[in-house]
A and B are shown apart, each in its own frame.
Chain A
Amino acid sequence: MDWFYQFPHMNDNALRDLKKVIDETFRGFTRNYGELIEGFFAPLQHFLIAAERFMTKTPWPIITLLILAIAWAATRSIRIAAGCLVTLLLIGYFGMWDDTMRTISMIFVCTVLSIAIGLPIGILMARSDRVQRVVNPVLDVMQTMPSFVYLIPVVMLLGIGKVPGLIAVVIYAIPPMIRLTNLGIRLVDKDVLEAADAFGADNKQKLFKVQLPLALPTIMAGINQTIMMALAMVVIASMIGVQGLGQPVLKAIANQYFTLGIFNGLAIVGIAIMFDRVSQAYGERLQKHREVVHG
């Protein structure tokens, strides 16, 4: 009756060997191709360094003005712009300016990369049910797999630093971008699409003149979600050497520095709210024409 109380599992030795084989194989792969892969990601490294240098080396008043200008251009709301100003001033006053700039540059690069990869995948998914059937489970895995777990292979391949951190963040943050692009395109009014067909639009014209513009509000919601998830992930990514607000938080956890943790945590909340309000208000402004003025 032993099998009844104990789940009959694989022979201990066999299991150990299996794990060993997989580990060995992956280690071999890393040793052989690690440099090649690192070379492949070199452009990203340059992009990251350039973005970080720009954010940290530019004098703070200029960066503040720049962020305010973007917020104003996107929202046309004095309230949101004023909120951004207060948040930035507080962060600076409490001595977290440099870390915050590093985090913002990281988020910026992650978002750009997520859009650049996520948008085409989302479009492909919307066009073909087969692609959707393949990609959906992959996205499920990416979203539910504990993020610490996929830090391991990334670090083994690329070591500790900015690029592996970037990859980890993008893996975590890209699913909403892909899903909402797919959803937005699939929800485009069939009648309008038929009209485009009737006027002889080819696939490219349909995509750029009808599907993407009509899906844009949904895609904007996806970008907003991606930014939020990237912000959540930068703290975890600081474990593998990503600079920014995550580092002090990590230090605070290890040493039980309550105030340090709270301050940096609040700074992350502050920029999260900034990004969220600005991108949402922009998304709403894109939908102005949808308001029914005439019933």
Chain B
Amino acid sequence: MVDHAFGGIAIRHLYKIFGPNAGAHVEAVRNGLTKTELNERHGHVLGLSDINIEMPSGSIQVIMGLSGSGKSTLIRHINRLIDPTAGEVLVDGVDVVKMPEAELREFRRHQTAMVFQKFALLPHRSVLDNTIFGLEIQGVSRAQSIDTAMRWLERVGLKGFEKKYPNQLSGGMQQRVGLARALANDAPVLLMDEAYSALDPLIRTDMQSVLLDLQKEIKKTIVFITHDLDEALRLGDQIAILRDGEVIQQGTSQDIVLRPADDYVANFVKEVNRGRVVNVEAVMAPLGAAATGGPSIPAGVTIEEAVRTLASAPEGDITVIDASGGPVGTVTFRQLAGAMVNARETNDHAIAIAATAA
């Protein structure tokens, strides 16, 4: 792993049909047979249909969808807990689908680690012994595993709990054990299957921060499954939205909120706090003739943060500057406030302003 850069994950033309004779129906589905038709005519269930997702190394890919959308099925294809009916799953350039049994086991031991919705800890083992489970399976010596495990337990905030049993811990703490167990494996891919869905909202936010903090340091390729859009927007470098086994939109959180692909996504996005997601570039007026001398904020800042800056700044425009310090645009309090309420109108407004400025 030291001299080899991990190549990310690519899912290509993946199909999953549930039923006794799944393989026979792939061609029909490729040619446009719908999920309902497949179920009515052949009694097979279409789980995933033509999934294509590229997950670059070192980023968090969120897969979002409601229950029954196929998201948990999809994540199980990455370590082949579920066999696909057709398609490729390339992890670091190797097709997981074609791996023989023994190779698949080695792959799971060293390339992936998984965190589960229901924690799936071993109730008869202490926190420490749960954490070393993956290393034990790999055949690492006990002394060395304990070293690694203690480091990760401390990192997720469980120092002093290593002798406890899972049932003696709260849900949030149990999931920290699940996270430590996965991290101890030191695999480049971290699969998180609705890892935080069973937690209380406050603890969930807390665990999201833990993950984001960790990711700055570990830079793993994380696949995160969730049904919660706020969670998806907060964590995801990239988001894929799944519905009825099909990807209906892929993109960054900005893309999803500002340009929902269809009514289904738009409906989802409606209730989202835009101020926390949308960056100032989306609402700023391009740098026009107007000279700027007022306060400035860096590009990439969210609207909410910009409002916070502006609230304590003198009246007037605020300049958006890029990484090198050069100005790229201006934004007003009115534009920011408008964006938090409804993005589309603000965009129109921004265009109008840009037009008058030009």
In the complex, whether A192 has a CB less than 8 A from a CB of chain B is: yes
With contacts A191-B118, A213-B124 known, is A198 near B79, CB below 8 A? yes
A194 interface neighbour in B81, B106, B107, B110, Cβ under 8 Å: B81
Bound CA–CA A210/B122 (angstroms): 7
Are A195 and B114 neighbours in the complex by a CB distance under 8 Å? yes
Are B185 and A199 neighbours in the complex by a CB distance under 8 Å? yes
Residue of chain A at shortest CB distance from B124: A213
Contacts of B136 in A (CB 8 A): 209
In the complex, whether A51 has a CB less than 8 A from a CB of chain B is: no
Among A196-231, those with CB < 8 Å from B are: 196-202, 205, 209-210, 213-214, 216
In the complex, whether B356 has a CB less than 8 A from a CB of chain A is: no
Give 1 or 0 for each of A272-295: 1 = CB within 8 Å of chain B CB: 000000000000000001111110
Are A200 and B120 neighbours in the complex by a CB distance under 8 Å? no
Are B167 and A200 neighbours in the complex by a CB distance under 8 Å? no
Among B189-240, those with CB < 8 Å from A are: 191
Bound CA–CA A178/B48 (angstroms): 41
In the complex, whether B57 has a CB less than 8 A from a CB of chain A is: no
Bound CA–CA A184/B144 (angstroms): 33
How many interface contacts (CB-CB < 8 Å) are there between A and B?
A: 72
Contacts of A216 in B (CB 8 A): 124
Bound CA–CA A47/B254 (angstroms): 76
A199 interface neighbour in B123, B133, B167, B168, Cβ under 8 Å: B133
B290 vs chain A, min Cβ distance (A): 57
Are B112 and A198 neighbours in the complex by a CB distance under 8 Å? yes
Q: How many residues on A have C-beta within 8 angstroms of the other chain's C-beta atoms?
A: 24
In the complex, whether B343 has a CB less than 8 A from a CB of chain A is: no
Give 1 or 0 for each of B71-102: 1 = CB within 8 Å of chain A CB: 00000000101000000000000000000000
Give 1 or 0 for each of A125-161: 1 = CB within 8 Å of chain B CB: 0000000000000000000000000000000000000
A275 vs chain B, min Cβ distance (A): 25
Are A293 and B122 neighbours in the complex by a CB distance under 8 Å? no
A191 interface neighbour in B108, B109, B116, B170, Cβ under 8 Å: B116
With contacts A200-B105, A200-B108 known, is A195 near B167, CB below 8 A? no
B137 interface neighbour in A191, A205, A214, A292, Cβ under 8 Å: A205
Contacts of B167 in A (CB 8 A): 289-294
Among B117-168, those with CB < 8 Å from A are: 118, 120-124, 133-134, 136-138, 165, 167-168
Are A200 and B137 neighbours in the complex by a CB distance under 8 Å? yes
Contacts of B106 in A (CB 8 A): 200
Among B286-329, those with CB < 8 Å from A are: none
Bound CA–CA A289/B122 (angstroms): 10
Contacts of A191 in B (CB 8 A): 116, 118, 120
In the complex, whether B357 has a CB less than 8 A from a CB of chain A is: no
Bound CA–CA A294/B169 (angstroms): 6
Among A98-130, those with CB < 8 Å from B are: none
Bound CA–CA A214/B124 (angstroms): 7
Are B120 and A194 neighbours in the complex by a CB distance under 8 Å? yes
Are B123 and A214 neighbours in the complex by a CB distance under 8 Å? yes
Contacts of A289 in B (CB 8 A): 123-124, 165, 167
Are B120 and A192 neighbours in the complex by a CB distance under 8 Å? yes
Residue of chain B at shortest CB distance from A286: B124
With contacts A214-B123, A289-B165 known, is A199 near B81, CB below 8 A? no
A200 interface neighbour in B121, B138, B170, Cβ under 8 Å: B138
In the complex, whether B242 has a CB less than 8 A from a CB of chain A is: no
Are A199 and B109 neighbours in the complex by a CB distance under 8 Å? yes
In the complex, whether B113 has a CB less than 8 A from a CB of chain A is: yes
B107 vs chain A, min Cβ distance (A): 7
Are A201 and B81 neighbours in the complex by a CB distance under 8 Å? no
With contacts A195-B114, A289-B123, A290-B123 known, is A201 near B169, CB below 8 A? no
A201 interface neighbour in B110, B116, B137, B185, Cβ under 8 Å: B137
With contacts A213-B122, A293-B168, A294-B167 known, is A197 near B109, CB below 8 A? no
Contacts of B169 in A (CB 8 A): 294
Are A192 and B122 neighbours in the complex by a CB distance under 8 Å? yes
Are B114 and A198 neighbours in the complex by a CB distance under 8 Å? yes
Among A30-84, those with CB < 8 Å from B are: none
Bound CA–CA A291/B114 (angstroms): 26
Bound CA–CA A199/B185 (angstroms): 9
Bound CA–CA A293/B107 (angstroms): 37
Contacts of B133 in A (CB 8 A): 196, 199, 209
Bound CA–CA A293/B137 (angstroms): 29
A287 vs chain B, min Cβ distance (A): 9
Bound CA–CA A189/B166 (angstroms): 15
Are B81 and A197 neighbours in the complex by a CB distance under 8 Å? yes
Contacts of A192 in B (CB 8 A): 120-123
Are B108 and A199 neighbours in the complex by a CB distance under 8 Å? yes
Contacts of B168 in A (CB 8 A): 293-294
Question: In this complex, which of B107, B118, B191 has the most chain A Cβ atoms within 10 angstroms of its Cβ?
Answer: B118
Contacts of A196 in B (CB 8 A): 133, 137
Other contacts beyond A192-B120, A198-B112, A200-B137: 5, CB < 8 A: A191-B118, A198-B81, A199-B108, A199-B185, A213-B124
Closest 7 CB pairs of A and B: A200-B109, A200-B108, A195-B120, A289-B165, A198-B114, A293-B168, A191-B120
- Write the residues of chain B forming the contact surface with A, with a CB cutoff of 8 angstroms: 79, 81, 105-110, 112-114, 116, 118, 120-124, 133-134, 136-138, 165, 167-170, 185, 191
Instruction: List 26 A-B pairs, Cβ < 8 Å.
Output: A189-B120, A191-B116, A192-B120, A192-B121, A194-B116, A195-B116, A195-B120, A195-B121, A196-B133, A196-B137, A198-B108, A198-B112, A198-B191, A199-B114, A199-B137, A201-B137, A202-B105, A205-B137, A209-B136, A209-B137, A289-B123, A289-B124, A289-B165, A290-B167, A294-B167, A294-B169
